[in-house]
Amino acid sequence: MDNEYKKGIYGKGAKIPGLAIARMIGHISYLSEQGMDKKFNRRLEEPSFAAKMSDFEKQFETEFAVEGYLAYQGKKFVDRFDANSYIAITKAMDLFDLGARYGDEKYTEDKSPEKAAEKALQKAFKRVKAEILLVSFSSDWLFSPEQAFDIVQALTINNKDVSYIEIPSIHGHDAFLLEKKTAFENVVLTQAIKNFISHIKV
Amino acid sequence: MYRDIYLKNTYEEIVKLIDADTRVLDLGCGDGEMLFMLYERKNVYGLGLDIDTTEVLKCIKRGVSVVQEDINNGLKKYKDNSFDYVVMSETLQAVKDPDKILKKILKVGKKAIVAFPNFAHYKTRLSILFNGKMPKSNILPFEWYDTPNIHHLTIRDFKDFCKNSGIKILSEVYLGDNGKRIGNTFTNFFAEEAIFLLQKGEDEKKVQIKEISLPFPFKK
């Protein structure tokens, strides 16, 4: 229970641990099991880091390194993000349905909802005029390769120019944020975008 | 370089088999050269599939539509009759279940085009006979341990398979030494590359209704 929530009207200087917890849970979905295992495993938080923690971070369990990391992510987010805008954005994302908005396919009784959604997506993509490059990371389960593939199918049915590349990575959704320029993910992503842009006929 | 000539000539023959303004799916499309030829000459909607990142990037650079996907996963998301042609050039012998893939592409495509190197070519036969080693040739330059080709086959093997599976061969083209087109006689000996245009047989297309067999006293 987030005592500061008050129907979404957070006062100035509220601690907002609710938002931090939401971010911590959300942050896990940007990573992957394999990636987290490699980074944290069962490692305990180093005392030097623990000593530097703010009071805010200390509200959370920080015995394991992964806990300290998530607490830090929670704090970082609360410091720079307004809780109400976060709620609004989340709701807007949840309510957005490309197929329903642009596909206009009625969900009739004789069709399964999956079939209807598929048809709606196909109809929605009829209006596409651009050439499309889709890229996904193999371990991303926020924007999964399967979903990207559904988009590919809906576009190819409509004779659209679409290319799809799946970059193998253990870093989950956040694979696109890797800082090392020589990381495999970055090399392939950069090359794919370069190649895609270089061929486009203006 | 010989391999390039073979591939080029194979692509030329495949392009000739494809009607203009159609939908083409190319399995194992490599760098997209054949699809690019089809775009320019036949105004097709062409989509390539390949598993290799380097090849996929080359396609993107060429402006060839490509999807990075493992054909060995069975093309499950591809619908029946969603393409006019499904092409497998130098790919059939490299997949895990060639029989299943062949049957699948004949469903996804109204027609299929399959091109493969003939393992019963006289040079291959002589190489095994006199060298006693896995044959290498212009079109098969690989060592036994690093070849992508895990299911070598001959023209006779393929024709037998088609016959037994009810697959109709609509057209056949053979390339002999130097990638030149040769006639349709003694092909299993002289052809280094074979190209087939295929279609699902009539009995496969029809919905089969099983006859009910009545017990002895009631038999007609």
Per the model's pLDDT, the better-predicted residue between A117 and A108 turns out to be A117
Domain segments of chain B as ranges: 2-204
Residue A1 near residue A141, CB atoms below 8 Å: no
Residue A15, both tokens: 């601690």
Q: What is the ipTM of this complex?
A: 0.84
Q: What SS3 state is found at A60?
A: coil
Question: Can you give the pLDDT at residue A61?
Answer: 80
Query: Residues 26 to 55 of B: which have CB under 8 A from any A CB?
Result: 45, 47, 53
Cβ within 8 Å, pair A162-B65: yes
What's the pLDDT tens digit per position in A152-162? 999 999 999 99
- Over range B153-165, report the average pLDDT: 96
Interchain contact, B60 vs A159, CB within 8 Å: no
The arithmetic mean of pLDDT across residues A82-108, rounded, is 83
Do residue A195 and residue B60 have CB atoms under 8 angstroms apart? yes
Closest residue in B to A201 (Cα) is B63
Calculate how close chain B gets to A119, using CA atoms only, in Å. Answer: 13
Please tell me the distance from the alpha carbon of residue B118 to that of residue B175, in angstroms, as a whole number.
10
* CATH fold for the domain made of A6-92: Rna Polymerase Sigma Factor; Chain: A (1.10.1740)
Mean pLDDT over B187-200 rounds to 95
CA distances from B22 to A67, A109, B79, B138 (A): 57, 34, 16, 32
Residues in chain A within 8 Å Cβ distance of B23: 159
SS (H, E, C) chain B: CHHHHHHHHHHHHHHHHCCCCCEEEEECCCCCHHHHHHHHHHCCEEEEEECCHHHHHHHHHHCCCEEECCHHHCCCCCCCCCEEEEEEECCHHHCCCHHHHHHHHHHHEEEEEEEEECCCCHHHHHHHHHHCCCCCCCCCCCCCCCCCCCCCCCHHHHHHHHHHHCEEEEEEEEECHHHCEECCCCHHHHCCEEEEEEEECHHHHCCCCCCCCCCHHHCC
pLDDT tens digits for range B51-83? 999 999 999 999 999 999 999 998 999 999 999
Regarding the domain with residue range B2-204, which homologous superfamily does it belong to in the CATH classification? Answer: Vaccinia Virus protein VP39 (3.40.50.150)
pLDDT digit string (tens) for A3-33? 777 776 766 666 667 888 889 999 999 988 8
- Give the closest-approach CA distance of B65 to chain A in angstroms: 5
Q: Do A164 and B23 touch (CB under 8 A)?
A: no
Share of chain B above pLDDT 90, in %: 79
User: How confident is the model over A51-90, as pLDDT tens digits?
Assistant: 888 888 888 888 899 999 999 999 899 888 888 888 889 8
Matching residue, tokens 């703010």: A54
- Domain extents for chain A? 6-92, 128-199
CB atoms within 10 A of CB B103: 16
Which three-class secondary structure state does DSSP give residue A13?
coil
User: What pLDDT does residue A69 have?
Assistant: 92
Comparing alpha-carbon positions, the chain B residue that sits nearest to A189 is B57
Q: Are B18 and B113 in contact (CB under 8 A)?
A: yes
